[in-house]
Structures are given as C-alpha cells and as structure tokens.
Structure 1
C-alpha cells in the first residue's frame, strides 16, 4: 500500500490547500462554515428515529443526518484552507457528535424493530447500511486530511474514530457475511458498491492491523468484481440515471481506491466499465434534464461528481462521455457541491485533469438502445437539444426501484420533458413495503401506458414486454421506430397482443405512438371490468380542445419563445378528460412545479381488435438557446 492511506493531499500540503484555485473554489463553502460556527449543530433525536416505525416518516431524521454531514464537510474544508484553532474545534465537535450518535445506520434500514421490537437503535447490534458506510467514510477522510492538527489540538479524537468505526462498520463487515446487499439471496444492486466503497476507505485509513487491512481490501475487491459482473454487457441500469450515480459511479470510485491500494484492475470488468460510462450521456435530453425510469428523477436535485465520469472516460477512451462530463463543469455548482459528500468533494478538487478540463458542449447522441433493460432513446436533431427527443421503456415490472411502466413513453421538446414520468417520490416506510404499488406515481395508471378493459398493468417480473425491437429506416437513418408487445404486462384474459409502435420522424418533427391489439375470440364481449383508456402524464399547462391537447412547460420561467407540444387523436374514437394532480411531495414539486396533468382518453367502444394512435408535434418558434 502507498504511504498515504487515501488519494488526496492532506493539510500539510499547503501548496495545494492554499492555492488560489482551491481557495476561490471553496470561498462560498468557507463563508458558510464561518457563519454557522458557534450555532447549534443539527440534532438527530430518538423521536425522529422512532418515527419511521411509528408513522413511516424517514425524512426528518435523514434530513438532520444529511445536514450534520454537510456542516462537518464544510467545517473540514474550511480547516484545510486554514487550520486555525476555531476551525479545527468545529471539526472536532462534528466528529464527536457522529461518534456519540446512537446509530450510524438510517432508521429505514435498521432491523432493530423486526429483531427486537424496538424503535430506538440497538447499540450492541450495529447495522451496516448506506448511512453507516457514509459516516465511516467521512470520518476516514477527515482522519486522513486533518490527522496531524487533530492530534495537536484534540488528542484522543483519532483513537475514538478508530474505535467507533471498528465496532460499527469494519467488524460487522468481516464478521457477518450474510448482508443481503452482498448478493446473499438477493440480486446485487447499487447498495453493494456504495457500502463496500465506503468500507474500503475506512479500512485503508483507519485499520491499523496490516493483516486485517489486506483481508478487508481483498473482500471489497471481490465484492466490486461481483458488482461489475452483475451489470449487463450493454451498460444499461434498470434503476435509471439517478441511481447510476449511487451504483456504477460508486463502483468506479471504489475501483480507484483499490488501484490506489495496489490491487490490479480486474480485466473482466473493463468491458462493462467502458459500457456503463456511456450511460449518463445516453440519457441526456438537454440542459439538466435526463430520461428517468423507476425511482430516478428527471432533473437532478444535486450536483453529481462528474469528475469521476471524466477521469474514467479518458481512461477508457470514450470521447462523448468525457465531453458530456466536461460540459457539466460549466453549470452552477458544477465545480463543487458539498452535498456530494466530503470524499467526493475532496477528490473532485484534487483532480488536476478535471480542474483544467475546458467546458465543452454535450454530445446529445442521436440514437441509443439498451436491450438489457429495454430502454431506447432517439432525438430528431442529434448534437442539439432542439426538436423532439423520445424514449421508450420495455423491460419488466419487478426491476430495482420498479415502477409499473412497461411500454411507457417520454417525449421532450427542445430539451425539456413534456410527456413525462413523475419519477421518485419522497421515501417513507410504505415506499418499499407491500403498499408500494398503491403509490400513484408508481402505478401504471400514472404512466404513459393504457389501462386495458379496466385493468392496469401488474407488478411482477412475469409482467414484461415481449419482442422489443428498435429500427431505423433508410441509409440516412432518419425515421426511427421502437416496437414492443405490451400484452404480457397485463393480466387480461384473451389478450393475444397489444403492439405499441413509437415513431420519430425528424423531417416532420413528430412523434407518433400507435397501439394495435387483438383478443383471441373476436365474438367474446368485453368484460364488465371497465373501459380501455390511454393515459398521458403531462408537465406544465394543458389546454384541451376536441381531438387536441396543447402543453406548455416552462420550468424556472423558461425562455419567452418556449414552444407548445400538441397531442392529437381521433376525437370520434375516445372521450378526453384532464386529471390534475396537485403535487404535495417536495421532491416531485422540486422537479415539476405545483402540478402534473394526466390526459385520459377513454375508448367509446371495446372492439376485439383495432388501432389507436396519438401524434405529437411542436408549434411556435424554436427557442434561441437550443437552435
């Protein structure tokens, strides 16, 4: 192992921490840290912890945990710039608060209630989850970055860090190997690299026994290799864009730490790493908008560590991924955002190639298809946010962070989604329990799919798309089509097929979604379960007239010339109504504003076979910034 436990300059490197670039980058953070020093720290109370088991609320407790982490991150960075006593004391206060916190895990993950019937942490049985890993990693990086000044100002603090991290994270990681997130009776998903990468940081910085340090490092190397092996060859992520950052990106960061610790790269992982590096920019619609499926959000609420993508894109030779990542540097908060955690903030600041990378235009790729997850995306003007972009979702209805959304379509106009997927709600107890599919934003009725003869799509892996195909017409690949059979996603007797074909015509600047269906017995009357209805979830203001809905969505004020998307259909075939959904969930309203509107097109007759189509095209002038 190298002399330094972690790959970043510590407080003794004054040429780095006192450099003009770093001082300027951290000026807002330092100002905030100095202003809040001396004020009460965010408190994590037993009553807040217990709320998850009492009424399902996890937000209050986790918000205070996050606020405590953020303040400690700011205090640490301020002390690195100038390790004077008042700034170091602030770090010590924050460190001891974490060490004295009864639980590092989040209440939503703790098994204290199921095992012991308790609503407070069982301190003798620490639970190793995402929250515990985050605390251990933050303390490990603080120990590495500020070790000498902590020893000078507060002898004993570093000993306490080691004692708590051993008891709460390192020993549970080695002594219990039945954690479900290791892939024990459960598919490997984003928790695995997220937790193991943080365990690795704690191990490298805080484990003093060289034999144990090597053993834990080897376990993490095996775990990260298993995560890479679990990813599909095409790099797709069924949890969507947001969770790429908490899965694949976490694995990339762990891979960097393994390399720093002298563990050679697993050659078998390189192809999957190369493939998954392309995922973020493949989901890009324009500006800060992305295709979202499952519990992803369409508009990120925090700045992600794009330096990780940039570094790996350069390493594997993906110019588009590197361009896209570098383009994120120009966004507000793109250089640094303390919400990204102390390890991510420090590694971003100390990445010389990232600091010198010129801001570039994003590639805005024209066509992409991930067969593994059944997600396809196309845009009418490759290389530009101007015009239409469309995505189609296949897959099945038991994916990670699943929504009932087989066949759902998203349409963006000039880089902004207008026909949308609501995305991630604020998590509560019922979000991942037996009542998950009662949540409106998870149900099929609030995705852009039909209700067939009164029956919604059903959750479960067996309810899946069939025969998903993506094709281009002509040598110049102008016309784009995605076609799949939705019939398998519905528990409807006698339904032979329900083909959905989505066509993007760049020349006509239009998207057409055509459904064609057939039942096995054309003479069997429609059941009394209800009528067939097509649902379209729309963002912004919607105006409904016979055979037409016009949608204008101008988030954050938007450009004065923002265009309108018109949806048209045969008015004789269906009855049209609008269902306005007021958004009282803060995470949803932060993305979409005060409301979303569902356009509901209900069939007037129930034919045993037939075709119905909706056409979408913009009207108005092209906004200047996307022309």
Structure 2
C-alpha cells in the first residue's frame, strides 16, 4: 500500500537556505558535568505549593479560583472517549486528522480541567475522574497523533507496538501526566498504589526511555545536516520532555544527561532561527516556536536556580518582540505561510516572556491584548503555561496597555518588512524563499490593511489533512503563488524549493521603500531574467512597481491580487475595494491590462471562520506580450 508521509516528510527531505549559525548558546552556558551540579532538587525548583498547601494554591489562583473549579465541574460526569483503530486508520484512508484527534483531544482537555480544578479546590472531589482519565490514558496503545505515526518504520497511521514515537501529542500528554503524578500521586495511592505506579511506568516507557535511546527523531535535529529544516516541533517537544525528566527521573546522573541532551537539541533550533528573531511560520505558530523556546528556557532557568540563563541574549528578545510587531490591530495579524490572519497571542505568555527578557513593549502589548479577552483559566493541557498564567494575572492587570506603533519593522535575515503611514495603511511584504517552515509559494507577496481592516490579503491555510503535509501540498490553492499577491510570469507560478528565492532584497527606511528581484522564485519555464518588485509607501499612497526582463514572451503576464472585499472594476483603470467602512482604490494602466474577478467560496471552516463566505482574486491580464516593461499600481485611501 503506497502511503504518503505526514507533516514534515516533504519538508524535512528538502534543503533550505535558511541561515544556520553554530551559536550553541545553551551548551556554552554549561557542560554536562556542570549541569550535574546546577540542577536543583525538585522540591527546590518547583515554585508551586504542595497539593495540601491550600493557602499557597489560593494565592496562586486568586480571583480565578471559582472559574477554575467551575470549569472542572463540567467534567465530573464526563464519559471518556475511545479512540478506535479505525479512527487512526482514517488518516491514511481519507486524509482526515480530526477523526482521531477529536476524541483524543477531548479526553486530554477533560483531564487537564479536572487536574486544575482539584489543585484549586483541594477537597478530593475530582480525584475519581482524574484517576479514570489517567487510567484511560495508560490503557491507550499510543499517545501519538495519527498524522504523525508515519514516522514509524511501518509508515502506517496505526500505532505499532514495536516502536515508540515522541511527537507533539505524546509529549504534551506526557508533560501533563508528569505534573499530575508529581502533585497527586499520594492522593491516587489512597485509592490504590497501582494507579500512580502505572502512570509513572507509562511516562518512562513512552517518553524517558525512547528519548535517551534515540537521536533520530527528526525534530531533535541531533544529526543535523546543514540546510535541513528545524521548526517549532523542536522547542515544543523538548520542553515537554524536559518536564518529564525533571519531575520523574530520580537518578541525578541520568537526569543531567537527559537535560543536556535536550540542550544540544534546542541549540539546533536556536542555530536555525535568524538573528533578527522573526518567526517564518507566522504569528499563529509563534506560541509554539519562540513561545515554546521561552517555556523551555524558563523551566531550565528555574531548575538551575537561574544559573542557566539565555534571557539577556538580544536574539531571544528579538524572537519575543516579533509577536508584538506583527500585530495589525483589532485581532488581525500579519499572516505569512500557514498562519491565520486572526489572532494576537496568549497574553499571559507574552507578558511573562516580556518580563524575562526585560521588554516593556511585550508586557504592555500583553496588557493591550488582555483588555478585550478574559484570561484563560486553562491553556489546554499545557500545565506549565496554565499555572504560570494564573501566577502572572495580577501583574498583567496592573500593566498599562499599549500596542506597538513603530513606523516600520525590518527583519533583514528573514526578509519581512512592515511599514505604516499616517493614512492608516499597514503594509506587510516579504522576500524569503519557497521552503520556509509551513511554506507557501509567496516570495515577494504583500498584505495591506487600512485602519486594521485587511484589504489585500493572504488567505492562510485550511483545515489540516494528509494532503497538507504531503507531496500534494501545492495542489491546494492556498499554497500557490497565483493565489497570493504575485504575478504569473509567462503563465507560470512560483515554484516550491529552497532554490526559489528573492534576490537583491533591500529596505530603505528613509524612503519607506522595500524592493527585491523575485525572478529566482520561478523556474526556467517562466523564461524570466529579472523581475524587480518595489513597494513604496510614501506620498499618501502605496505604489507597487514591477520592472521586468524576459528571455522571451510566451504568454500574457498576469498580476494577481487576493482581496477580502469584492473588487469593483466597472471603471477601466480603477479598482475599488470597500470593506467594513474602509475604502480604497487601486489605479492601473487600462491600456495595459484587462481585469477579471474570481469569487472563491470559503467552504473550509478554518478559512470561513476568518473570512466569511468568500474571498476574491482580482487578475489583471496583460493585453500584449513584451520581453521587457514596467507595471505600476497606485493604491490610495478613499475618504468617506
């Protein structure tokens, strides 16, 4: 049976041109031998009170206590769901991840809420259901998501008992269960000592032993080959593994060896990320990339009594502040790659990260986000973030809110450029290359917001299926350059691959001008010698100019624009967009182009939840073929 790899197969097997610098910041902070003396006993570094310390837990939960308990009460009669063999197999049969993930995640959410409620209340009222949840988890053959089981040697989506895999699912659940054991194992023993013993054995066999036995999980990157992708999986999985070892490994030598191995692995992620700190996966993934790196570093800081500390490194601060700079306003964010256009981030996480790196901007931005949101009493099954958010709630509420107002933000290595003007325009454009993590073929694209309303947009990505991370990825319309704000050159779109990239990328902050040659993002069939795209945000307008030279003209060029509002093209040479009481017009040369509109129904719930029922593609098709020329588009605000 032919089976397609999931998530990373297509991405990992290729090379990238991302900068990889052997910083090895963590390993420079401590050797394995030093780490042995740095790591504190668990009861010294875990700053949360013991389960029996009711005054301590009341202090942590504060005025969130009643809500935390109420959330747990909703699961007192929860019926634990069975994840069937056919649920796993559905991934390879239809491509659906949700069939397996829905019951699995529901169980995990129930367990998390019950644990949080029991810690908040401390009366034992939730213990029987917690025991049910723990027992249910231990009886499962695997904690790995069906979409990630193709990393098994069998390449199938049904768990193979011959091999243990550590993925996002198993790591997250392993971490929650480790905290559950740490705080509640004595309470479990009151029912039967086999419960906590069985739980500890499961975590050891599913996380501790395989992590130390193997160095070939792709996300570990321990056998790193220059140019290979290292993305959010690395800090995400390693932060979960770190918790499991710190809480459950009693042997000091084994514990320090394991922690050092996670340091070696996380260094690979830090080496991979650009010095400018931009998250090439977009704001939706920041919490899993930079945010999880922060979690990892904070846990390591706590466990070593502050002796292992990277928070003073400028790069770590840059990575944190990216999330604030990428916020457009009113819930909208810059969403290159698979990121959603809606979001903002976890205010508690952003606040704590800001505290750690001494970024007043991040702390004030977190308070700004918190104005319109209720602090989550439970961050899914992420125990560390949940309890930390409870702990910072008071400080967050006392912080003055402010959204970043920088005129521009420039990420020179990642080649992201944000510019703002006094007319209410927020322009986000990028260079880059077409093998970034969660890549779309989008070298040279842009998004434009008017008073925070998206006008020219990036659709984002639909619901994940098998096809999303397979060799069928670029058959999906959202991944293709012709559904971004980019040209079709000689009838050809951009191509996927590390070699397809922008050249001569420049930003002039004085002129508010961003330019690059995007010809390198197209293959030889496009017969393009150069295609210099320039974004100029000045004189109360955005001017986009394409100056090009072709080896030959084979088909009429097309300029594509993806919009939220339906374009009005009734007047030749003018396109009008109006959405949410915001209006602009784009001027083009009617002698050069014929306009047309494609209505794109949004039937996928992940997309329709952001954009509603429709997006639109405006296509300007050149009326004549020429081997060289210049196209210009001027976008201005229309005041009403």
TM-score by length of 2: 0.88
Residue 516 in structure 1 maps to residue 558 in structure 2: no
Q: CA deviation at 1:356?
A: 4.8
Residue 564 in structure 1 maps to residue 583 in structure 2: yes
Residue 32 and residue 317 in structure 1: after superposition, are their counterparts in 2 closer, same or farther (change >3 A)?
A: closer
Residue 493 and residue 18 in structure 1: after superposition, are their counterparts in 2 closer, same or farther (change >3 A)?
A: closer
Measured against aligned partners, the alpha-carbon deviations of 1:372-414 in whole angstroms (never above 9, x if no partner) come to 1111001114xxxx71100111011111111000100100111
Match 1:485 to one of 517, 531, 548: 517
**Where in structure 2 are the equivalents of 1:394-433 lying within 5 Å?**
394-433=431-470
Residue 249 and residue 35 in structure 1: after superposition, are their counterparts in 2 closer, same or farther (change >3 A)?
A: closer
Match 1:439 to one of 476, 480, 485: 476
RMSD: 2.2
Distance in 2 (CA, whole Å) between partners of 1:75 and 1:313 is: 30
The structure showing larger relative contact order (alpha-carbon pairs under 8 Å, at least 6 residues apart) is 2
* 8 Å Cα contact 2:501/2:518 also seen in 1: yes
Distance in 1 (CA, whole Å) between partners of 2:195 and 2:638 is: 64
* 8 Å Cα contact 1:2/1:260 also seen in 2: no
**Where in structure 2 are the equivalents of 1:97-116 lying within 5 Å?**
97-111=136-150, 115-116=153-154
Distance in 1 (CA, whole Å) between partners of 2:587 and 2:143 is: 53
Residue 54 and residue 487 in structure 1: after superposition, are their counterparts in 2 closer, same or farther (change >3 A)?
A: same
**Where in structure 2 are the equivalents of 1:300-339 lying within 5 Å?**
300=343, 304-339=345-380
Moved more, 171-180 or 146-155: 146-155
Q: CA deviation at 1:93?
A: 1.4
Q: CA deviation at 1:149?
A: 2.7
Residue 356 and residue 333 in structure 1: after superposition, are their counterparts in 2 closer, same or farther (change >3 A)?
A: closer
Q: CA deviation at 1:159?
A: 1.3
SS at match of 1:458: coil
Q: CA deviation at 1:179?
A: 1.3
Measured against aligned partners, the alpha-carbon deviations of 1:427-462 in whole angstroms (never above 9, x if no partner) come to 111111111111100011101000011011111111
* 8 Å Cα contact 1:48/1:61 also seen in 2: yes
* 8 Å Cα contact 1:548/1:566 also seen in 2: yes
Match 1:537 to one of 537, 551, 562: 562
* 8 Å Cα contact 1:284/1:364 also seen in 2: no
SS at match of 1:552: strand
Moved more, 6-15 or 280-289: 6-15
Residue 56 and residue 221 in structure 1: after superposition, are their counterparts in 2 closer, same or farther (change >3 A)?
A: same
* 8 Å Cα contact 2:502/2:521 also seen in 1: yes
Residue 146 in structure 1 maps to residue 177 in structure 2: no
Measured against aligned partners, the alpha-carbon deviations of 1:264-290 in whole angstroms (never above 9, x if no partner) come to 336598232122122111111112211
* 8 Å Cα contact 1:85/1:153 also seen in 2: no
Point out where structure 1 has 5 or more consecutive residues left out of the alignment. Answer: 474-478, 555-561, 622-627
Q: CA deviation at 1:354?
A: 3.8
SS at match of 2:352: helix
Residue 34 in structure 1 maps to residue 73 in structure 2: yes
Residue 599 in structure 1 maps to residue 618 in structure 2: yes
* 8 Å Cα contact 2:164/2:206 also seen in 1: yes
Residue 370 and residue 118 in structure 1: after superposition, are their counterparts in 2 closer, same or farther (change >3 A)?
A: closer
Point out where structure 2 has 5 or more consecutive residues left out of the alignment. Answer: 1-39
Q: CA deviation at 1:329?
A: 2.1
Distance in 2 (CA, whole Å) between partners of 1:280 and 1:117 is: 36
Structure 1 segments of 4 or more deviating over 4 A?
266-269
* 8 Å Cα contact 2:569/2:576 also seen in 1: yes
Please name the residue that 2:599 is paired with.
580
Match 1:348 to one of 373, 379, 389: 389
Q: CA deviation at 1:337?
A: 4.7
- Give the number of aligned pairs: 593
Please name the residue that 1:495 is paired with.
528
**Where in structure 2 are the equivalents of 1:16-55 lying within 5 Å?**
16-19=56-59, 22=61, 24-55=63-94
Q: CA deviation at 1:533?
A: 0.7
SS at match of 1:469: strand
TM-score by length of 1: 0.89
* 8 Å Cα contact 1:162/1:207 also seen in 2: no
* 8 Å Cα contact 1:92/1:154 also seen in 2: no
